[in-house]
């Protein structure tokens, strides 16, 4: 009689590398589009301005609602009045744009010279009559996606703590209800409301494009779960109500600071679920929310099977292949778990920062997925040293490396397929229906190489490499 061998546990390592990611002030790029009545004022140096111009150069034809408050030598040496200068800029913003909220984005410089943004904001807010939210989304953080985390944590403190009494206020605030009920008769709306199960209020947090917000809201509606609001909302004036005891659930792995703020400051109850990335993650996310509310999920087996069937043309391209994550946007664990479910082997998950409490459910699902797929558990390396990683990549020879933009071209020059991790940040990858978009990105370099082989270009490249 043989004793069954216990499955090995996930191993965590920590190296001493730098954080090779964008600066978190880049969160302005997607947040100003999400919060339609906002204006973002980045308080930093010319370097911050150059970075934003480059990072957001793709939006040159749009009219972005952000600006730079550039700190000069006089500001840094405390010879000028920060208050008067910020007041001048905010009055100009009010005159030109009249937003519902101005978000001050602190930078490394404001941290180093200890600018008291939190002290200046309330005084100026009362003077100009526009809410000012202070978010220190600076480069001292671990990853660029944590800029959103900082902004949402600051906004969580501005959410109302009492539900509006008047019906007019209630209808104005619940933008999601208006969106879902658009074009419906009153009788149909009443019928829809009766489909919901009686459960405590649920607020979801994480900035997602409106179509994805609608998809996830409808997926929960199918289980009888009503979403009371999203943080952030499309408009600052429609921020969700957060009373003590409300339930909250996150949709992104990099929102640990927001989760902590919601639990400690707003006394909400966090639902620790895997994240809705990939059909497997979306199903686990819905199941966890259902279990908390005592609801038996229905139709998820068929729903997930249907999505996987539609992905087969992409999955067959990567099944049996290997992938290496260098670490960039904090989505790595969720992406790795999904790709392992697709049949890939993940050699290593590099990640700039790991909050094991907030990602506990995702890590458990990763371990379970590896066991079910009979795949080796990947090593998880926090704060990876890129030199050491490159040595491991040369040794392991993965079929694909998902990396930050800085390392993509050097790796491609050495014949290693790469994909920019930043593309997954801006793409729609959440929910059942968007899994296809994620696989479209993952398989693009592999499909490109297959096409080059068909054309005979790979032989030409090898000949040039010899020369």
Q: In the chain, what percentage of residues exceed pLDDT 90?
A: 67
Burial class (CB in 10 A: 0-12, 13-18, 19+), 261: buried
Q: What pLDDT, on the 0 to 100 scale, is given for residue 4? A: 40
Tokens for 461, please give them: 């490249």
Residue with tokens 């111009």: 53
Let me know: does 271 contact 288? Beta carbons within 8 Å. yes
170 vs 353, more confident: 353
Q: How far is CA 453 from the centre of its chain?
A: 36
Is residue 368 predicted with pLDDT exceeding 90? yes
CB atoms within 10 A of CB 457: 12
199, 202, 208: which is closest to 251 by C-alpha?
A: 208
Burial class (CB in 10 A: 0-12, 13-18, 19+), 377: middle
Residue with tokens 């659930």: 249
Let me know: does 230 contact 213? Beta carbons within 8 Å. yes
Q: How far is CA 360 from the centre of its chain?
A: 17
CA-to-CA distance for 335 and 354, rounded, in angstroms?
Answer: 14
Q: SS3 of 144, please?
A: coil
| pLDDT tens-place string over residues 171-206 | 555 665 666 566 666 655 555 666 788 999 999 999
48 is in an annotated binding site: yes
Domains and CATH numbers, the chain: 23-137 (3.40.50.1980), 187-291 (3.40.50.1980), 298-453 (3.40.50.1980)
Q: Which pLDDT band holds residue 93 (cuts at 50, 70, 90)?
A: very high
* Mean pLDDT of all residues in 267-279: 97
Residue with tokens 């506990």: 360
Query: DSSP assignment of 439-457, as one string?
Result: HHHHHHHHHHHHHHHHHTH
260 vs 189, more confident: 260
Question: Which has the minimum average pLDDT: 21-35, 185-199, 282-296?
Answer: 185-199
Let me know: does 142 contact 158? Beta carbons within 8 Å. no
CA-to-CA distance for 114 and 140, rounded, in angstroms?
Answer: 14
Q: What pLDDT, on the 0 to 100 scale, is given for residue 5? A: 46
Question: Which has the minimum average pLDDT: 19-28, 229-238, 402-411?
Answer: 19-28
Rg (CA), the chain: 24
Tokens for 290, please give them: 């259902």
Q: What pLDDT, on the 0 to 100 scale, is given for residue 141? A: 80
Let me know: does 321 contact 344? Beta carbons within 8 Å. yes
Q: What pLDDT, on the 0 to 100 scale, is given for residue 9? A: 81
CA-to-CA distance for 465 and 372, rounded, in angstroms?
Answer: 42
Q: What pLDDT, on the 0 to 100 scale, is given for residue 63? A: 66
4 vs 444, more confident: 444
CB atoms within 10 A of CB 85: 17
Residue with tokens 């390592």: 13
Residue with tokens 């797929």: 373
Let me know: does 439 contact 314? Beta carbons within 8 Å. yes
| pLDDT tens-place string over residues 329-340 | 999 999 999 999
What's the angle, vertex CA 210, arms to CA 206 and CA 214, rounded to 5? 90
| pLDDT tens-place string over residues 302-324 | 999 999 999 999 999 999 999 99
pTM of the predicted protein model: 0.88
CA-to-CA distance for 50 and 349, rounded, in angstroms?
Answer: 31
14 is in an annotated binding site: no
CA-to-CA distance for 369 and 345, rounded, in angstroms?
Answer: 12
| pLDDT tens-place string over residues 152-171 | 999 999 999 887 655 445 55
| pLDDT tens-place string over residues 373-401 | 999 999 999 999 999 999 999 999 999 99
Let me know: does 206 contact 275? Beta carbons within 8 Å. no
Q: How far is CA 231 from the centre of its chain?
A: 13
Let me know: does 105 contact 25? Beta carbons within 8 Å. yes
Mean pLDDT of the chain, nearest integer: 87
What's the angle, vertex CA 206, arms to CA 203 and CA 208, rounded to 5? 115
Buried b (16+ CB within 10 A) or exposed e, 57-73: eeeeeeeebbbbbbbee
The two counts, helices (H) then strands (E), for the chain are 21, 14
Distances, alpha carbon 394 to alpha carbons 184, 319, 336, in Å? 58, 21, 20
Q: What pLDDT, on the 0 to 100 scale, is given for residue 85? A: 87
* Mean pLDDT of all residues in 239-257: 96
CA-to-CA distance for 60 and 65, rounded, in angstroms?
Answer: 12
| pLDDT tens-place string over residues 46-78 | 888 888 887 666 555 556 788 888 887 666 555
CA-to-CA distance for 409 and 405, rounded, in angstroms?
Answer: 8
Tokens for 310, please give them: 């539609």
């Amino acid at each position: 009689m043989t004793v069954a061998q216990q499955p090995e546990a996930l191993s965590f390592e920590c190296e001493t590398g730098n954080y090779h990611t964008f600066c978190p002030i880049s969160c302005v790029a997607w947040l100003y589009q999400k919060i339609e009545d906002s204006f973002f004022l980045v308080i930093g140096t010319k370097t911050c301005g150059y970075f934003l111009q480059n990072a957001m150069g793709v939006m040159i034809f749009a009219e972005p609602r952000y600006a730079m408050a550039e700190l000069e030598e006089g500001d840094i040496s405390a010879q000028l009045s920060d208050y008067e200068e910020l007041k001048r800029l905010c009055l100009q913003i009010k005159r030109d744009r009249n937003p519902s909220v101005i978000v001050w984005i602190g930078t490394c410089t404001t941290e180093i010279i200890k600018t008291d943004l939190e002290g200046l904001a309330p005084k100026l807010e009362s003077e100009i009559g526009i809410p000012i939210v202070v978010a220190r989304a600076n480069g001292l953080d671990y990853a660029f996606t944590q800029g959103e985390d900082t902004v949402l944590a600051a906004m969580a403190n501005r959410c109302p703590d009492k539900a509006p009494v008047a019906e007019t206020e209630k209808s104005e605030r619940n933008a999601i209800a208006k969106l879902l009920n658009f074009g419906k008769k009153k009788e149909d709306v009443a019928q829809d409301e009766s489909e919901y199960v009686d459960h405590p209020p649920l607020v979801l947090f994480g900035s997602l494009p409106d179509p994805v917000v609608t998809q996830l809201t409808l997926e929960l509606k199918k289980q009888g779960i009503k979403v009371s609001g999203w943080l952030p909302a499309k408009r600052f004036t429609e921020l969700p109500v957060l009373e003590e005891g409300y339930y909250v659930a996150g949709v992104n792995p990099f929102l640990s600071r927001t989760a902590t703020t919601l639990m400690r400051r707003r006394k909400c109850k966090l639902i620790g679920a895997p994240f809705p990335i990939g059909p497997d993650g979306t199903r686990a996310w819905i199941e966890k929310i259902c279990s908390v509310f005592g609801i038996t999920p229905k139709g998820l087996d068929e729903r997930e099977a249907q999505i996987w069937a539609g992905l087969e043309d992409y999955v067959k391209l990567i099944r049996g292949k290997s992938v290496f994550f260098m670490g960039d946007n904090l989505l790595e664990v969720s992406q790795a778990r999904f790709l392992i479910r697709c049949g890939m082997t993940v050699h290593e998950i590099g990640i700039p920062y790991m909050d094991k409490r907030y990602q506990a459910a995702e890590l458990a699902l990763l371990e379970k997925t590896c066991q079910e797929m009979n795949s080796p558990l990947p090593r998880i390396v926090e704060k990876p040293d890129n030199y050491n990683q490159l040595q491991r990549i040369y040794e392991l020879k993965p079929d694909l490396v998902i990396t930050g933009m800085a390392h993509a071209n050097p790796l491609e020059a050495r014949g290693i397929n790469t994909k920019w991790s930043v593309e997954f940040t801006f793409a729609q990858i959440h929910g059942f229906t968007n899994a296809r978009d994620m696989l479209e990105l993952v398989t693009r370099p592999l499909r490109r190489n297959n096409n080059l082989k068909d054309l005979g270009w790979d032989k030409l490249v090898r000949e040039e490499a010899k020369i």
